[in-house]
Amino acid sequence: MSTFQVVGLLASLASSVAAHGYVSGIVVGNQYSLGYANSMQYQQTPPKVAGWSDPEDTDNGFISPSMYTGPDVICHKGATPGQAYVDAAAGDKVTFQWTPWPSSHHGPVITYLANCNGDCTTVDKTKLEFVKVDAVGLVTPGNPGTWASDNLIANNNSWSFNIPESIAPGNYVARHEIIALHSAQNEDGAQNYPQCINFKITGSGTANPAGTLGEKLYTPTDPGIEVNIYQSNTAYPIPGPTLWSGAAGSSGSSGSAAGSSAAPSATAAPTSAAAAASSVRATSVAASSAAAPKSSKTACKRKRHAFKA
């Protein structure tokens, strides 16, 4: 065994121990595409996949709020463009298959599309403008309630959304993300798990909506980022830009129970009144966070990091 192979073996052992999750496959109709896996960097001839490479992310770790203004929040740690595309048509249902997600890691599931205006395999990620096309947060009120991540687990660790019908054909980067909130009552405690995948979208749509740069999507003090979920939750303001009006609707995992029974205020495309109302609710949520369990941001690797049996 070469040193290189030994390092690879150790890295894959390490990632199986600390694994959180990543998108291992993408399904559109009857077409399956392989996602990027960290272990691919140790293959002699890694496959060309549509998923963006993040070889530095050997522990399937997360992006913390303190990293929101840097490039790693865009498509995960040190990510470089995927070297292939998933083919899809506007209106198609897309399913992202995650590796098993820990049940304690409750939070929203959000999907954005950014037009590469050319080739995504060489695109400058810091210039991509992300348009929110699907977002589900709190699905059923409760303590902590049912979250989009819980539906993802229930749905065979997968999440589906529909590519908006009206979006212009072209090459796009889908930025698909789970934000785990199990330690989000602490400053810098939320955990973002972004995954980027290239799509070649066909269709006759003409919409090319303006988006938001990856480094401008969130701030550490957004009401949906610094939030205590260990209380009776009735609403949750999904962080980031407003859901695009052309989005197919927050169908979550369409064709399944996931997302479709969402609490109205949690997922509705915010009109300014609705957005204002949800920030008011979020403020009262934050105000009663005194009873938050004291867990450090490393708690993820300890007691709260439990997979559903």
Q: Which residues bind ligand NAG (CB under 6 A)?
A: 24-25, 97, 156-157
> Residue 248 corresponds to which tokens in the numbers above?
């197919």
- Give me the least distance between CB of 49 and ligand NAG, in Å please: 15
* Full DSSP string of 113-174: EEE-SS-GGG--GGG-EEEEEEEE-EEE-BSS-EEHHHHHHHTTTEEEEE--TTBPSEEEEE
Q: Which one, 31 or 66, has the nearer CB to ligand NAG? A: 31
- Give me the least distance between CB of 22 and ligand NAG, in Å please: 11
The secondary element (H helix, E strand) that includes residue 276 is helix 272-287
Residue 300 binding result from ligand NAG, Cu ion, none, given CB thresholds of 5 to 8 Å by partner type: Cu ion
Residues 84 and 248: their CA atoms lie apart, in Å, by 25
Helix, strand counts (H, E) of the chain: 5, 12
Residue 97 binding result from ligand NAG, Cu ion, none, given CB thresholds of 5 to 8 Å by partner type: ligand NAG
Report the relative pairing of strands 191-202 and 170-180 from DSSP bridges: antiparallel
Q: How many CB atoms lie within 10 A of CB 66?
A: 10
- Give me the least distance between CB of 157 and ligand NAG, in Å please: 6
Q: Which one, 24 or 103, has the nearer CB to ligand NAG? A: 24
Q: Which one, 158 or 183, has the nearer CB to ligand NAG? A: 158
Residue 305 binding result from Cu ion, ligand NAG, none, given CB thresholds of 5 to 8 Å by partner type: Cu ion
Residues 268 and 158: their CA atoms lie apart, in Å, by 22
CB-based contacts of 280, cutoff 8 Å, min separation 6:
none
- Give me the least distance between CB of 181 and ligand NAG, in Å please: 23
Q: Quick check: 200 binds Cu ion (CB under 5 A)?
A: no
Residue 249 binding result from Cu ion, ligand NAG, none, given CB thresholds of 5 to 8 Å by partner type: none
Q: Quick check: 184 binds Cu ion (CB under 5 A)?
A: no
Q: Quick check: 281 binds Cu ion (CB under 5 A)?
A: no
Q: How many CB atoms lie within 10 A of CB 297?
A: 18
Q: How many CB atoms lie within 10 A of CB 299?
A: 17
Q: Quick check: 300 binds Cu ion (CB under 5 A)?
A: yes
Residues 203 and 288: their CA atoms lie apart, in Å, by 48
Q: Which one, 16 or 245, has the nearer CB to ligand NAG? A: 16
> Are 52 and 41 spatial neighbours (Cβ–Cβ below 8 Å)?
no
Residue found by looking up tokens 């997979």 in the block: 307
Q: Which one, 37 or 90, has the nearer CB to ligand NAG? A: 37
Q: Quick check: 305 binds Cu ion (CB under 5 A)?
A: yes
Q: Which one, 18 or 280, has the nearer CB to Cu ion? A: 18
- The stretch among 132-140, 242-250, 261-269, 299-307 that binds Cu ion (CB under 5 A) is 299-307
Measured over the CA atoms of residue 92, residue 98, residue 102 and residue 107, the dihedral's sign is negative
How many binding residues for Cu ion (CB under 5 A)? 2
- Give me the least distance between CB of 189 and ligand NAG, in Å please: 28
- Give me the least distance between CB of 102 and Cu ion, in Å please: 6
Q: Which one, 69 or 156, has the nearer CB to ligand NAG? A: 156
What are the residues binding Cu ion (CB under 5 A)? Answer: 300, 305
